[in-house]
Structure formats: C-alpha cells, structure tokens
Amino acid sequence: MAPSIDQQQALDRTVAALLVVRCSGHPADGQRRYPRWELDNASLQRLLKRGVGGVILLGGSAAELRLRTRQLAAWASEPLLLCADVEEGVGQRFEGASWLVPPLALARIHAADPALALDLARRYGACTGREARQLGLNWVLAPVCDVNNNPANPVINVRAWGEDPATAGALAAAFCLGAQAEGVLTCAKHFPGHGDTASDSHLELPLLPHSRARLEAVELPPFRHAIAAEVAAVMTAHLLLPALDAEHPATLSRPVLTGLLRQELGFEGLIVTDALVMEAIAGRYGASEAAVLALEAGADLVLMPSDADGAIDAIVAAVHSGRLPLERLQASLDRRRLALGRCPAGDAHSAATPLGQLSNGPSPSDQALALELVQRSLELQGQGPVRDPGVNLIRLDNSLGCPFLAATAPALALPAAAGWRVCLIDGQGPSPWSGDGEAPLALERLGEGPLLLQLFVRGNPFRGRADGPDPWPAVIRQLQAAGRLAGLAVYGSPYAWQALKPLLEPGVPAAWSPGQMALAQSQLLGHLGFGLKASGGSAPGAAAEVDFTD
C-alpha cells in the first residue's frame, strides 16, 4: 500500500530536520561573502518551510547576527539548531564580540601551570557560550579535540587545545563545561582525530595510517574527555583510517561512527558530519549519495550538503527502498530533540531576548579575559625599542578581505605613527624576492633603512600547507648580515617562531603571539616599543576568513 500524502509529508519533514544548511550572518543577499555556499534568503525560507532543522552562520556583526537568528527562527515552524564555527570566541566570526587567542596558546600555559590553564579554558568556554547565546546561537561548533602532534598540519595547527592527548583532552573538556554551563551545546571535532595529517580535507582526502592501538593512545583520549564532560555533539573527520575502514572515510564509515564512537566509546549525543561540500567528500561522492551514506554510517545530522533538496529526496528514496530504516532516522530525530532540550527555552527564538552587554561590545570581564590570554601567551626575545624608522615588512596569506589587518590595525598604525613605511607581501603585489637562495629579499626594491618583519602565519584551510613557501630563515640571516633587521613579530604558528627564534642575534627585539587579532598586535608591538596603551589596544572582534566549517 502506497503511503498517504500526510505520511509522505511527515517523512519529508523528518528527513529535512536532520539537515544543517549554511547562510550568511548578513541579512541581505547582496552581502553574502561566499554565495557559492551561502543560501539566498528565498532558498532559506523555502528550505526552512520544508522542515530543514539547522543553520550554520558565518560573517556579519554581532548586532546583525542577533537580528539574523531571530529572522531564521521566525521563518521556521520548529525550533532550529543555530550554530557557528566560533572556536576562538564569537568575535572570530562576528565583529563586535570577543575574539580570543587560538586554543593552542592555552596548551603552552598548561605546561607551566595546569590549574591556571584549566581555569582559563573554562572561562574561555563560558565567554564563548554566553556571547553565542546572547546573539541567538544555541550550538557552538567547538572544541577541536584533535591532537596537533604534526607541525606540518595545514588545517588544525593552533586550533587544537594541545600537542599531546592529555593536555588536549583536559583543556577541551574544561571548555565544554564552561560553554555548556551557559546554556549552549558544544561539539567535539574532528572524530576520530585530524591532528596528525599533513594534508587538508578541504582539498583532498587525508590518510591516517595508524594502528588501532596508536589511535587509542593518541587520537581518542581527548574525545573520551569531551564525552565525559557531556559534550552534546561530535563532528566527524573527512579522512581515511584503513585500520578501521579501508573503503570509506570516517564521515561515511559505519565501523567508525557506529562501531567505535557509538558502541565502544558509549557516546549517546548527536553525531554531525563535517561539511559535505568539502572536497574530500564532494570530490568522491555525489551530494545526495554522501548524505545517505553518512546516515547509514550512523551520523544524525548532515552538515552543508551541496544540494539540500537533492539530499532530502535521496534520503526519502532510501527509506522507501528499505535501504535506510525509518527507525534509524527517528532515533536521530529523538537525539536532536533531546539536544535542543538542553538549551534554555526560547533563547534562540524569542524577540524579547536582550542583546545584553554585547550592545556595547564585550563585557568588562570578557575584555579582561581576552587581554589576560594575550598577555600570558606572549613570548619575548631581546630588548626593545626597535631602531629608527624604516620599512615595516608584513607577510600575509592574502591582504584582500583580511579581517585582522584593516587600515587601523595596530600592525599598520603603530609603526606608521612612528614613521615606518609599510610593504606587504601577500601574493598580490610586486614580488620582493630576488631568486637568490642565500639573499632571498631584493632589498633594493624595499628602500633604505632598518626593517621590521611582521609575519602572520598559521595553519589555514584551503592553503594546503601549514606555512608559506617563503624562505624566512634565509631572510633572517640576510637581514642580520646586512645590519638591517630591526625586529621580528610572529603572529599565529608557534612552529614558525620556534624555527626563527634560534637564528636571532641577542640584541634583536622579537616576540610571538598565537593570536593575530588587533589586541594581540597591540600587545606584541608594545613590547617592541611601539606605543602600547594601558587599555591593551583595540577590542577584539572581526569576521573570519575561513570559507566554511572545518
């Protein structure tokens, strides 16, 4: 007997509720930064009416986000999961909220003072959860539970909470406890561990060739810590682990999601895929088939399929054919309802929910936390101040749409106020390279005088490597031999700092900060003698450059 129209509609809505689609935090279609992945408003309204149960947001200001989450809630007939990748505080993605140092900074504090680091991680989570809830989000896609024990990792890097499993697990669990105490859900990612890879799943399918015993010793402990801390969700990794499943990547693997995570680790919460538009999945499976395979493997929620309607239709067809039991989907729907029940009623949907302190920026206590994290994670060498004005040479991945280097950014403004002229290395303008491996900078193109070198280097999705190809050790040696290195500032990767620091002559003022935001710039440059203010510089908060969830 064919199902009735009512039964068909009920099944369609059940399936749709298990999808999470992406939209911009900006309200207007013309403001979308990544229209390839961010749905227009008409499509959003139609999909939410169809029953799509979650939205991931990126971009815009804190004030825009609060209006946007209310708008999305009004378009939906059922409570939504509203989430964002705010691994470094809400201000990492939404201007005007708190942008905190990357999590790996706390691992270094933990090595010296574990109790302090755990307290800071809990406060870090509380700040993130509180601001997320105030702006209408009910799900924080953090913490990263990957162990970054591979310095060449291009996609995890400073996003990890540690370089060893004990540190990563303890700090990630503290973050979970702090955030979920504020009434939001958290998400441990990327299961079963993306830390020891040298390739980027945004671009290709990484291979993790380790044995099950090695996974148990290194990759899995942080996830066990997070599960013990009652993390609400776990996000899958797009990588292949032949020791567990030689055919399917973890996101689509029943042995990984059902056998390992659900049955062996005893996780009872939501399992969500990483974005299915990422090339590790999209380049090998169609959008519709990937969604079906993920649910077959044991995932509960399908994040960012490239064709939401096609994914819904394919899952419905899989139910009709007997490939996917309806009971399997109902179990996922029940987990979703239980998760939403952990959030304070009405926060994400009520127009009466106040914006709170964020109407005037982060609260004083959160501003103090952001400053404390920057100051405690700074590493210094040599003595400032730097010498008389010369060239402020700044290395960026790309100066276009760079959130931490606006025209007023301290890395530009503080040296400019002291008479330094700026030169950007960003892959867009004229090349500064000579072609000589021993003296790689074409100094005649940069002009006369001392040179302040500021490097913004960190693992970033889509770049395919953890650092740039630029020969910075040779540059340091060249500038010191010429007597022109006035100072060095490294923002982001500790591995770049560790490689360059031993090359510096004792008198060269230098510093590293894991953060790249304005607050980190002002604090670091203050130690190099560039007019640090008692307030600690400008407040954190800017949109992020990463294209989609990772």
Instruction: Write out the catalytic residue numbers.
Output: 202, 274
d(CA 427, CA 398): 7
- Could you count the other beta carbons within 10 Å of the beta carbon of residue 353? 18
Would you say 22 and 548 are in contact if contact means Cβ atoms under 8 Å apart? yes
Q: What is the DSSP letter of 100?
A: P
Strand ranges (DSSP E) for 247-353?
270-272, 302-303
**483, 451 in Cβ contact below 8 A?**
no
326 Cβ contact partners less than 8 Å away, ≥ 6 residues apart: 11, 14, 319
Q: First and final CA of the chain: distance in angstroms?
A: 44
Angstrom distance (rounded) from CA 513 to CA 493:
8
One-letter amino acid for residue 162 of the chain: G
Closest alpha carbon to 251 in 267, 234, 274, 232: 274
Which contiguous run of DSSP H or E holds residue 491? strand 485-492
Closest C-alpha among 80, 70, 62, 68 to residue 27: 68
Residue 262's alpha-carbon distances to 192, 274, 349, 451, in angstroms, are 12, 17, 31, 55
What token pair was written down for 116? 């302090």
For residues 397 and 491, what is the distance between their CA atoms, to the nearest angstrom? Answer: 12
Tally the residues of the chain.
Answer: 550
Cβ(102)–Cβ(515) under 8 Å?
yes
CB distance 256 to 265 below 8 Å: no
Nearest alpha carbon to residue 425 among 471, 377, 359, 361: 471
Q: Which contacts qualify for 494-497: CB closer than 8 Å, 24 or more apart?
A: 494/104, 494/108, 494/158, 495/151, 495/157, 495/466, 495/467, 496/455, 496/457, 496/467, 496/472, 497/379
CA atoms within 13 A on the CB side of 425: 22
Q: Which residues pair with 236 in a beta bridge?
A: 191
